[in-house]
Amino acid sequence: MTLMKRSDWPTLFNNSLLSDFFDNDRFFDSDWLRKQSMPAVNVKETDKFFEVELAAPGLTKKDFKITAENGMLTISSEKKEEKEEKEKDYTRKEFSFSSFSRSFTLPENVNEEDIKANYEDGILKLHIAKKMISQPKHVKAIEVR
């Protein structure tokens, strides 16, 4: 078995870059056009809570939708931007759209009613409180005489 290292970025040397741009049959089906960026996530666990950090620079608090339902935490965002410049000889109109959705299965010891979110400096932080789960009682075997 041979391990091969491969770059997903097209280069001028393998003609993939030029082909993706100029070959009409492949342009809209190319791999680089379909790739979406997912924000990086860190999860930290302590005795009393979980802390989830999601790197999402360039967004605002209003761009996020966070839900917790049936043991599933979902963080999603959708952002649309439009800009238009009008000068006497030309009109320039630009628009962009970005979105993502990440879902996490919550453990049984999470209190879904006690989740707090804070967005600051491009990082969304969720504080998820744990709840006490009663430990099953130790089963004592009774000898029959």
Q: How far apart are the first and last CA of the chain?
A: 64
Question: In whole angstroms, what is the distance from residue 140 CA to residue 2 CA?
Answer: 56
The tens digit of pLDDT for each residue in 38-65 reads 889 999 999 999 999 999 998 899 999 9
The pTM is what?
0.61
Q: How far is CA 83 from the centre of its chain?
A: 26
Domains of the chain: 41-130 (2.60.40.790)
Q: How far is CA 112 from the centre of its chain?
A: 20
SS3 88: coil
Q: Reading across the β-sheet that carries 72-86, which strands appear in turn?
A: 64-69, 72-86, 91-105
Torsion of CA 33, 35, 39, 40, to 10 degrees: -140
The tens digit of pLDDT for each residue in 122-140 reads 999 999 999 887 777 778 8
SS3 26: helix
3-state DSSP helix/strand/coil % of the chain, to nearest 5? 10, 45, 40
What amino acid is encoded at 33 in this protein? L
| Predicted local confidence at residue 21, as pLDDT | 54
The tens digit of pLDDT for each residue in 16-35 reads 555 555 555 555 555 555 55
